[in-house]
Structure 1
Amino acid sequence: MTTPPYEDFAHAYLIEVGAAVRRMLPRHAEAVDLLVKATAGGGEIRAFGNGGSSAIVRSVLLQLHAQAEVPVNDAMMSPATLAYSAQREGYRTAFARSLVGGIGRVGLVVVASVSGRSANILEVARLCAEHRVPVLALVGGDGSQLEPDGGVVWATGTTDQQISEDAMLTVLTLAAATALGPGTKPLSARAERHLRALAGVDTELLGAFLGEATEAVADAITGRRRIYVLCPDGGPLALVGEHFAHNLAWDAPLGVDGVQPPLVVCDPSLADMSAIYNDHPDPAHGVRHQLSSATPGDVVFLLAYDSAGPTAREAVSAATVAGTRLFLLHRDGPSRSAAGARGLRLPRVDDFALAALVQSVAHLLCRTTRATLAADRSGPAGVLSADDLMARDLAPLRELSATHTR
Structure 2
Amino acid sequence: MPPVYEDFARAYMTEVGTTVRHILTRGAEAVALLRKAADSGAQVRAFGNGGSSAIVRSTLLQLHARAGLPVSDSMMSPAAMAYGAQRQDYRTLFAQSLARDIDQVGLVVVASVSGRSANICEAVRLCGQNRVPVLALVGGDGTQMELVNGLVWATGTTDQQISEDAMLTALTLTAAAALAPHDEPLPIRQERHLHALAAVDTARLADFLEGATEAVADAIRRRRRIYVLCPDGGPLALAGEHFAHNLSWDAPLGVEGVQPPLVVSDPSLADMSAIYNDHPDPAHGVRYQLSSASPQDVVFLLSYDSASRTTQEAISAAAAAGTRLFLLHRDGPGRPGAAQHQLTLPQVDNFAQAALVQSIAHLVCRTTRATLAADPGGPANGLSLHDLMAQDLAPLRQLSNAPHSL
- Shorter-chain TM range is over 0.9
User: Which one-letter code corresponds to 1:260 in the other structure?
Assistant: Q
Counterpart check, 1:363 vs 2:362: yes
Counterpart position of 1:177: 176
Counterpart position of 2:47: 48
1:318-344 C-alpha deviation (Å, 9 max, x unpaired): 000000000000001122254452110
Q: CA RMSD in A?
A: 1.5
Contact kept? 1:307, 1:337, Cα under 8 Å: no
Greater relative contact order, per chain length (Cα 8 Å cut-off, separation 6+): 1
User: Which one-letter code corresponds to 1:109 in the other structure?
Assistant: V
Contact kept? 2:316, 2:338, Cα under 8 Å: no
Which whole-Å CA distance do the structure 2 matches of 1:134 and 1:73 have between them?
16
In structure 2, stretches of 5+ residues that fail to align are: none
Which whole-Å CA distance do the structure 1 matches of 2:376 and 2:208 have between them?
24
Which whole-Å CA distance do the structure 2 matches of 1:277 and 1:133 have between them?
38
What SS class does the counterpart of residue 398 from structure 1 fall into? helix
Which whole-Å CA distance do the structure 1 matches of 2:354 and 2:45 have between them?
21
Contact kept? 1:298, 1:325, Cα under 8 Å: yes
Contact kept? 2:169, 2:352, Cα under 8 Å: yes
* 1:97 shift after superposition: 0.5
* 1:382 shift after superposition: 3.9
Structure 1 residues 298-377: aligned runs within 5 Å:
298-336=297-335, 338-376=337-375
Contact kept? 2:217, 2:371, Cα under 8 Å: yes
* 1:376 shift after superposition: 4.4
Contact kept? 1:117, 1:401, Cα under 8 Å: no
Which whole-Å CA distance do the structure 2 matches of 1:378 and 1:84 have between them?
47
1:369-405 C-alpha deviation (Å, 9 max, x unpaired): 0111011467454442212211121236426887753
1:186-211 C-alpha deviation (Å, 9 max, x unpaired): 11111110000000000000000000
Contact kept? 2:298, 2:325, Cα under 8 Å: yes
What SS class does the counterpart of residue 7 from structure 1 fall into? helix
Contact kept? 2:9, 2:206, Cα under 8 Å: yes
Structure 1 residues 155-166: aligned runs within 5 Å:
155-166=154-165
Cα pair distance change 1:221/1:130, threshold 3 Å: same
Contact kept? 2:315, 2:339, Cα under 8 Å: no
1:210-253 C-alpha deviation (Å, 9 max, x unpaired): 00010000000000000000000000000000001011111110
Which whole-Å CA distance do the structure 2 matches of 1:133 and 1:403 have between them?
28
* 1:255 shift after superposition: 2.2
Which whole-Å CA distance do the structure 2 matches of 1:345 and 1:290 have between them?
24
Q: What is the TM-score of this pair, normalised by structure 2?
A: 0.97
Counterpart position of 1:84: 83
Counterpart position of 1:192: 191
Contact kept? 1:231, 1:238, Cα under 8 Å: yes
Once the two structures are overlaid, the 10-residue window that deviates more, 215-224 or 23-32, is 23-32
Counterpart position of 1:5: 4
Structure 1 residues 4-403: aligned runs within 5 Å:
5-336=4-335, 338-376=337-375, 379-395=378-394, 397-398=396-397
Which whole-Å CA distance do the structure 1 matches of 2:319 and 2:270 have between them?
27
What SS class does the counterpart of residue 304 from structure 2 fall into? strand
Once the two structures are overlaid, the 10-residue window that deviates more, 373-382 or 396-405, is 396-405
Counterpart position of 2:405: 405
In structure 1, stretches of 5+ residues that fail to align are: none
User: Which one-letter code corresponds to 2:14 in the other structure?
Assistant: I
Cα pair distance change 1:238/1:337, threshold 3 Å: farther
Which whole-Å CA distance do the structure 2 matches of 1:327 and 1:49 have between them?
29
Which whole-Å CA distance do the structure 1 matches of 2:279 and 2:404 have between them?
41
1:12-36 C-alpha deviation (Å, 9 max, x unpaired): 0001101111111221111110101
User: Which one-letter code corresponds to 2:224 in the other structure?
Assistant: R
Which whole-Å CA distance do the structure 2 matches of 1:46 and 1:397 have between them?
27
Cα pair distance change 1:260/1:401, threshold 3 Å: closer
**Total equivalences in the alignment:** 405
Which whole-Å CA distance do the structure 1 matches of 2:123 and 2:261 have between them?
33
What SS class does the counterpart of residue 182 from structure 1 fall into? coil
Which whole-Å CA distance do the structure 2 matches of 1:331 and 1:75 have between them?
31
Contact kept? 2:141, 2:156, Cα under 8 Å: yes
Percentage of identical aligned residues? 73
Runs of 4+ in 1 over 3 A off after TM superposition: 337-340, 376-383, 399-406
Which whole-Å CA distance do the structure 1 matches of 2:283 and 2:31 have between them?
37
What SS class does the counterpart of residue 142 from structure 1 fall into? coil
Which whole-Å CA distance do the structure 2 matches of 1:147 and 1:402 have between them?
20
What SS class does the counterpart of residue 328 from structure 1 fall into? strand
Cα pair distance change 1:200/1:380, threshold 3 Å: same
Cα pair distance change 1:402/1:172, threshold 3 Å: farther
